[in-house]
Structure formats: C-alpha cells, structure tokens
C-alpha cells in the first residue's frame, strides 16, 4: 500500500461499511481518537497537523480548514466533509494550493428534513412543557396548535429545503418559499409560492431556514425581521448558527412575540461569547433544542460517510467526485 493513500477520519460514528469501502480500495485508514466530549472542531492547528501528517485524504466534520493548515499538510489532496456546509473551509486557499474540497451532497437531506418536521410538531404541540409539568405532578393539558393546513415559510430551497416541502405536502400546508433562484417548473409541480422575505415572514405560521451562511445571510433573522413575523409564529433553524441573531430571538421569545422556536444550530458554535445566550434560549419552556444533530441519524450518517469516502477515493484515483459534491478543485486543468 502506498503512503499516498493514507486517509484520516476525524469524525465520530464512521461506520464499518464506509471503512471497508476505503480499505478495499487500498486506503490506509486512521480514525482519530478524540478526547471525550470533544469534536474535531475543538482541535487547534498543531493538534490537527499532528493527526494529519502524511495524509492524502481527510474526512472532516467541523474543524477549521485554514490556509496555514493546508500549507502545513503538503501531502493532503482532498478535504471531504461529512456534511454539506463548508463555511469553515478556506476554499480560496484550497484552490491556490491545488487541493479538492468536497461535501456529502444528498447524504443527509432526509435526516435533516425529518428533524425539521419533528421540531415543528414538538414546539407547536408543547411536548417539552407538557412532559416537564407531568414530572412535577401537574397533568393538566396545555393547548397546542396544529401543523396541518398552516402556512409554512421555507427560506432557501436547496436539497434539504425541497425535502421539507415534500414532507409538508402530507400536512396540507400552504408553502411560501424565498430563494435567490426561483424555479417556475418546481412551483407548478409542487404548488409553492415564491415570495420576498418580508412577505414570507408576515404570512407564515412557521418559518424554517435552509439557507447557507454567507456575509449576506448572516443575521438574516434579526430584531427587524422578527418584528415583521406573524405574531405567535414558530421559528425553526436547522441550517447554520448565524442566520439568526440569537440574542434578538431570545428577547422576542421572552416578550411573547413568538410562540416558540426549534433550534439545532447556534451562534455560540462559532462565537463563544454567545454561549450565555444559547443557554438562556435552551432554558425557555417554548424552545426545543438539539446539539447540531439534525443529520445524525444512523441512516443519515451511514449515507454521508459513504458519500465522503467515495469522494476521497475518486480523487486519490486521479478522478473526480460527483459534480454536486465538489465545492473547490485546485488541481491543474480542473
């Protein structure tokens, strides 16, 4: 086996099938042993360099892939994310240095979409509040609200957004969509209406976010946007921490402006100064929170593991990952 086919995995829950796929294709696989309670995003530059020395492929979770890190790893040919976000990867540096960056496109769409519907139902039907009261001996009934036949605003219409729209059809929802790339054929086929963001916020009983985090979308939902929302609406964010100004959301929930929120991502994931805000949100009875686990079903992780592994093998074999997986390719002639 050639050392040029060394692959390091810094993600937990890497399944046997994906591991076998890599090894059957002459890859030497090393799965990083991370400290308890830590993810690869918690590792500093020096720790990552030590783990990745000599690696040609890296299957990564949430670690920051900086220019300095790539420069310190001259053997590294491909960074393959077991996920679909790539805001923590310096794509320009990857191109400059001749590297490939791939995402696991299509692997977790169903898992995250299921998670979204689950959060909508949990918040609207007040599952958390009801169970807590029962534990305290109060079995009185709290009145919730339906998802059926409500108006749902979907912000962003990528693969996950479309998967959510598909599921909402079973609830007979009226779906409004805000996207930078409206597709008239899709609207005719599904019955969604394309609207601008203020209109979507004013009309929606539920707002669910599925946009990437960019300088243009950072704090897309701030105090002004929340003030535009329909009173008593429910906000769902499973996309990226930073799309919502969590401090403003906290104020709105405390003031009773919104009925509740379902959160899987938080500003504090990238900005530790927001940690008290995240803790305060999670303490509210009308917030249902999860630790960025929307894609973390057994089936979803198995799918994304395999997509990430296939991209690694494709590059090490001198070929190309599926086009939808490639977000940067700095190899000559590509």
- What was the pLDDT predicted at 85? 85
pLDDT band at 60 (very low <50, low <70, confident <90, very high): very high
- Is pLDDT above 90 for 4? no
Spot the catalytic one: 159, 292, 303, 310.
Answer: 292
Residue 269 neighbours by CB distance under 10 Å: 17
Q: Is 92 a catalytic residue?
A: no
Q: Is 240 a catalytic residue?
A: yes
Measured over the CA atoms of residue 13, residue 17, residue 20 and residue 24, the dihedral's sign is: negative
Q: What is the pLDDT of residues 219-232, one digit of tens each?
A: 999 999 999 999 99
**DSSP for 152-165, written as a single string:** EEEE--SHHHHHHH
Dihedral of the CA atoms 223, 226, 228, 231 (nearest 10)? -140
Domains located in the chain, CATH noted: 3-107+297-329 (3.40.50.720), 109-289 (3.40.50.720)
pLDDT band at 9 (very low <50, low <70, confident <90, very high): very high
- Is pLDDT above 80 for 256? yes
From residue 242, alpha-carbon distances to 84, 107, 224 in Å are 16, 23, 15
d(CA 180, CA 155): 10
Spot the catalytic one: 115, 159, 203, 240.
Answer: 240
Measured over the CA atoms of residue 291, residue 297, residue 300 and residue 302, the dihedral's sign is: positive
d(CA 329, CA 334): 6
- Is pLDDT above 80 for 59? yes
- CB distance 36 to 46 below 8 Å: no
Q: How far is CA 278 from the centre of its chain?
A: 17
User: In the sheet that 57-60 helps form, which strands lie side by side, from edge to edge?
Assistant: 28-31, 6-9, 57-60, 78-81, 100-102, 326-329
* pTM score over 0.75: yes
- CB distance 35 to 56 below 8 Å: no
pLDDT band at 34 (very low <50, low <70, confident <90, very high): confident
Q: Is 71 a catalytic residue?
A: no
- What was the pLDDT predicted at 1? 40
Task: Give kind and range of the element (H or E) at residue 113.
Answer: helix 109-124
- Residues paired with residue 155 on neighbouring β-strands, in sequence order: 178, 209
């Amino acid at each position: 086996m050639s050392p040029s086919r060394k692959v390091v995995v810094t993600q937990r829950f890497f399944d046997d099938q994906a591991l076998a796929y890599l090894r059957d294709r002459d890859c030497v696989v090393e799965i990083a042993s991370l400290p308890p309670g830590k993810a690869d995003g918690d590792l500093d530059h020096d720790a990552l360099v030590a783990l990745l020395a000599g690696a040609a492929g890296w299957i990564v979770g949430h670690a920051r892939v900086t220019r300095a890190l790539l420069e310190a790893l001259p053997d590294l040919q491909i960074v393959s994310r077991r996920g679909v976000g790539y805001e923590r990867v310096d794509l320009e540096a990857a191109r400059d240095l001749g590297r490939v960056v791939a995402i696991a496109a299509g692997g977790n769409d169903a898992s995250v979409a299921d998670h979204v519907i689950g959060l909508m139902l949990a918040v609207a039907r007040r599952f958390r509040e009801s169970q807590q009261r029962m534990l305290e001996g109060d079995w009185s009934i709290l009145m919730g609200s339906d998802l059926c036949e409500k108006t749902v605003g979907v912000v962003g219409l990528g693969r996950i957004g479309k998967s959510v729209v598909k599921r909402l059809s079973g609830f007979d929802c009226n779906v409004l969509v805000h996207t930078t790339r409206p597709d008239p054929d899709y609207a005719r086929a599904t019955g969604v209406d394309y609207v601008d963001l203020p209109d979507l916020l004013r009309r929606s009983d539920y707002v669910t976010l599925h946009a990437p985090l960019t300088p243009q979308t950072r704090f897309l939902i701030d105090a002004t946007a929340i003030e535009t929302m329909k009173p008593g609406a429910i906000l769902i964010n499973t996309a990226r921490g930073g799309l919502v100004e969590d401090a403003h959301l906290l104020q709105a929930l405390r003031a009773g402006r919104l009925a509740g929120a379902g959160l899987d991502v938080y500003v504090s994931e990238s900005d530790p100064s927001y940690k008290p805000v995240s803790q305060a949100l999670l303490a509210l009875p009308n917030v249902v929170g999860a630790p960025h686990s929307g894609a973390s079903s057994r089936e979803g992780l198995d799918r994304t593991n395999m997509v990430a592994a296939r991209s690694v093998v494709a590059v090490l074999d001198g070929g190309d990952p599926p086009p939808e997986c490639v977000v940067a390719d700095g190899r000559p002639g590509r």
